[in-house]
Each structure stands twice: as C-alpha cells, then as structure tokens.
C-alpha cells in the first residue's frame, strides 16, 4: 500500500494565498529540507486546527524528519487532518491501519479511510482499494472490483495502477483477456518508467501481442527494464536480462545497435 509522495504534494498544493505567511514559510522550509524551521512554523498552525499543517506534521513524524520517528504521533496528526476531510491524510491514515503503524492492524478500518479519500477522487486511494480487493484484505477477494478501482486510478494517470491494469488484461484476471488493452496500459506505465511494466511490454512487442511485432522495440523496452530495476529487485531484473537475451538472439547487429540507441534516448514522461 502506498503513502505516496504524490499524495503529499497534493496536500501541499492546497495551501492558498490566503493562508498565513508562517504556514507558507513552513511549507517552503520543509520542501528545502529545513525540518527544524518547518516544525517550528507548522506546529502552531496544526495546534490551531489547520489540516494541511497537521498533514505535514504527520508526514514528518512518520518519516522522522526533524523529529524522532513516531508512528503514534503520525497517526494522531493524520487523524486530525483526516477528520477535516483532507483526502491525502485519509489515504495515509488508511495505510497506517493497513500496516499496523501506530495502531492495531485493521484492514476494515484501512478500507474505510481509503474509501473516504477515493470518493474525493484521490488516485492513490483508489489504487490502494484495488490492491485490497486483489489480495482479499478486509474484503472478499474480487478481481472485478480490483479492476474497477485500478481503472479509476489509471485513468487519472496513476502509473502503478496502469501497470496493474495492464497485467489484468494480459492475464485475463477480472476481465476478458485483451492484449491490445494490456499493451496500451503497459505502455502508459512504461512511459512513466514503472520498471515491472517495461519487460512485459517488451515481451508483447517480441510476440506481436496487442502491438505489431517489432524486435527493436522489444529489445529497447527489455533493456530499459534491466536498467530500471534496482539492486533489491533481483528477480525482476534477472527476468528482464533473460528476455533481452532471447530477443537479441533473433536480431541483426544493426537492429541491436538501433535498439540500444533508442534506449539511451528514452526519457520517462
């Protein structure tokens, strides 16, 4: 489940020009990593009930930024902001219940907070609900419902949800198998640099599934997958290495050189 930076940045954007200068200065201090100043400026606003300041404090306590890490304090401040309807706080409070951080683990309570944020349109919360339906946490496992929530988040541009949606279409999980839809959603996620989407997209180009068969594109995406997986994701990286080798075996040296060039030129959108 995600307590995402995107949700955090959404909360930042809620601070308008009518807010006190101290709150704006606290936000700016946090963004530049001056956590002591951020704490000094944000804490009074949080104590006076400002939901965004409460969100900041919660985030700082959860991450140990300028304070000793305290899930209990993070939960307290997220709850105060969440009770005021701040969607990002509701989502992050849901994740704390999901993971048992500062509270007893409670999937039903997690889902309840995710729903509050999701109905406000927060993509991270919609993705998190999809994950819970897919895994059967707090609800009966329901891949059709998981697909629906992933779709809502994916249509808002959530890259992880786009990857999950692509996988569901590729495997026929919760929806009829549809390689064209799978390739479309994998491509959206791949364009954002989501490592697990890169290899499957490359494999689809190698087989001509949902896209025209194109070994150069297949090699490019599998090569990018190798590069994008980090050291802790050895299984994914090794699978991408094997896929790249299988594709390269079918290619001419000129095609391989072209694929390498395209991979070097690629930048995430």
* pLDDT confidence bin for 26, thresholds 50/70/90: confident
Residue 217 has pLDDT above 70, yes or no: yes
What is the tens place of the pLDDT at every residue in 147-172? 999 999 999 999 999 999 999 999 99
What is the tens place of the pLDDT at every residue in 68-125? 999 999 999 999 999 999 999 999 999 999 999 999 999 999 999 999 999 999 999 9
Running DSSP on this structure, what letter comes out for residue 91?
A: H
CB atoms inside a 10 Å sphere around CB 14: 13
How far are the Cα atoms of 117, 138, 157, 188 from residue 114, in angstroms, in the given order?
A: 5, 12, 18, 24
Question: What's the gap between Cα 85 and its chain centre?
Answer: 22
Q: Establish if 212 belongs to a structural domain.
A: yes
- CATH value at residue 246: 1.25.40.10
Number of domains present in the structure of the chain: 1
Q: Establish if 113 belongs to a structural domain.
A: no
Q: Establish if 67 belongs to a structural domain.
A: no
Q: Establish if 237 belongs to a structural domain.
A: yes
The residues, ordered by sequence, that sit 6+ positions from 111 with a Cβ below 8 Å of its Cβ are 94, 129, 132, 137, 138, 139
What is the tens place of the pLDDT at every residue in 165-195? 999 999 999 999 999 999 999 999 999 999 9
Q: What is the mean pLDDT of the chain?
A: 92
d(CA 102, CA 123): 24
Buried b (16+ CB within 10 A) or exposed e, 98-117: beebbbeebbebbbebbbbb
pTM of the full predicted structure?
0.89
What torsion do the CA atoms of 31, 34, 37, 39 make, to the nearest 10 degrees? 70
Q: Establish if 225 belongs to a structural domain.
A: yes
d(CA 209, CA 204): 5
* Domain around 190: 161-269
Q: Establish if 72 belongs to a structural domain.
A: no
R_g of the chain computed on alpha carbons: 21
CB atoms inside a 10 Å sphere around CB 30: 22
Residue 53 has pLDDT above 80, yes or no: yes
Q: Among candidates 33, 27, 34, which has minimal Cα distance to 11?
A: 27
Q: Establish if 111 belongs to a structural domain.
A: no
pLDDT at 121: 97
Place of tokens 């009074």: 44
Q: Establish if 5 belongs to a structural domain.
A: no
């Amino acid at each position: 489940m995600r307590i995402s930076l995107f949700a955090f940045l959404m909360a930042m954007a809620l601070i308008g020009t009518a807010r006190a200068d101290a709150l704006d200065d606290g936000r700016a201090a946090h963004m530049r990593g001056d956590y002591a100043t951020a704490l000094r400026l944000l804490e009074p606003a949080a104590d006076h009930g400002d939901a965004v300041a409460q969100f900041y404090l919660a985030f700082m306590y959860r991450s140990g930024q300028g304070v000793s890490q305290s899930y209990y304090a993070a939960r307290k401040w997220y709850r105060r902001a969440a009770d005021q309807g701040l969607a990002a706080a509701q989502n992050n409070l849901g994740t704390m219940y999901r993971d048992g951080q500062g509270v007893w683990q409670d999937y039903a309570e997690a889902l309840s907070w995710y729903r509050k944020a999701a109905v406000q349109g927060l993509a991270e919360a919609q993705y998190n609900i999809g994950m819970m339906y897919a895994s059967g946490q707090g609800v009966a496992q329901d891949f059709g419902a998981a697909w629906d929530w992933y779709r809502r988040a994916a249509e808002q541009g959530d890259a992880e949800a786009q990857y999950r949606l692509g996988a569901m279409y590729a495997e026929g999980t919760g929806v009829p198998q549809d390689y064209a839809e799978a390739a479309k959603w994998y491509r959206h996620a791949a364009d954002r640099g989501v490592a697990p989407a890169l290899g499957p997209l490359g494999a689809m180009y190698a087989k001509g599934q949902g896209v025209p068969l194109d070994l150069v594109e297949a090699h490019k995406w599998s090569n990018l997958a190798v590069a994008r997986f980090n050291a802790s994701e050895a299984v994914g990286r090794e699978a991408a290495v094997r896929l790249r080798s299988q594709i390269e075996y079918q290619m001419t040296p000129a095609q391989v050189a072209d694929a390498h060039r395209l991979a070097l030129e690629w930048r995430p959108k």
